Structure 1
Amino acid sequence: MSILKQVKSVLKSKDVSQLIVEYANGSTKEYSLDGKNGSKSAIKDILDSIKWKDVAEVQFVLDDDEDDDDDDDDDDDDEVNVRSVNDDDYDDDDDDDYDDDDDDDDDDDDDDDDDDDDDDDDDDDDDDDDDDDDDDDDDDDDDDN
C-alpha cells in the first residue's frame, strides 16, 4: 500500500490535528489540520502539494479531543506514524504462503499414515482368524481321544 493510501486511511479513521512529513533527504514539513476536518478540499489540497515519491515518513498528531479518555498526559499516544518501505526491506508474504503449502502436505501425509494403520489392522484380523482355526483343530483332536 502506498504511503498516500495509508495517510488517507489514517485521516479517515482518526481525528488528526497535525501532519508531519519527513522526506528522504531528512527535511520535514508540518501541516496543521486544525479546523480543516470538515473541509475535505483543504485536506485534499495539502495532500496534493506533497511530493509522495520523496516521502520517507509521515507522523500524525491526533486531536486532543480524541484522547479525552486517556488519563495519562503521555504525548507518545498522540502520534501515529507511517513509514516508507524500500523494496529491499520489504518482506513479501509469498514466502509465508509457501510454508502454508508445506503444512498442507504434512496433513496429507498424516492421512496416508492412517490408511497404513487400517491395513495393519486387517492383517491382525487375519492372524486372529488363523488362531481360531488352530483352536478348532485342537478341539477336533480332543474329540478323537
Structure 2
Amino acid sequence: MAVHRLSLDDARRIAVHAQLLDEPRPTDLVETVERLTMLQIDPTAAIAPSADLVLWSRLGSSYRPEHLTEAVEHDRTLHETVAYIRPARDVPIAIAEWVGREFHPAMVEWLEANERFRRDILARLDAEGPLLSRDIPDTSAVPWPSRS
C-alpha cells in the first residue's frame, strides 16, 4: 500500500479545519463539542477556564460560560467525566474505554477503606437518580488525597 504524503500546507489546513478554527464559525455549543470530540477541563484559569477559552475561540462573542453550565448541568447534552467534557451520547464510548482498565493501587486502597461511602453513594443514586457531586455528603472514612 502506498503512503499518501501531505504537504505542510495541506497538513496545516487539515489541522486548522479539524479544530474548527477556519470559516464558517460554528454556532451551536453541543455541535461544536461533538465535532471537537471532547473539551479538556484544566483547573488552571489564568484568564478563563480552558473549556471556556476553546469554546469562545470557536463560537465567538455569542458564547457565554453559563451556556456550558446549562448544557452539562441542566440539559445534560454534555457530560463531564474525569478531566473532559464530552457529548452525552458518547458516554457509552467512555464506559467502553474504562472497562478492563486497572485502577492505580492507591485508588484501590482508597475504595477499600471507603466501602461504606461507596455503598452510601450508590444507595443515594438509586433513590434519587443522577446528582451533582456537591449534592453528595462526604461520609468517607479516608479523605481523597489531593495533589499540591
* TM-score when normalising by structure 2: 0.21
Work out which structure has the larger RCO, using CA pairs closer than 8 Å and 6 or more positions apart in sequence. Answer: 1
* TM-score when normalising by structure 1: 0.21
Please say which structure displays the higher CA radius of gyration: 1
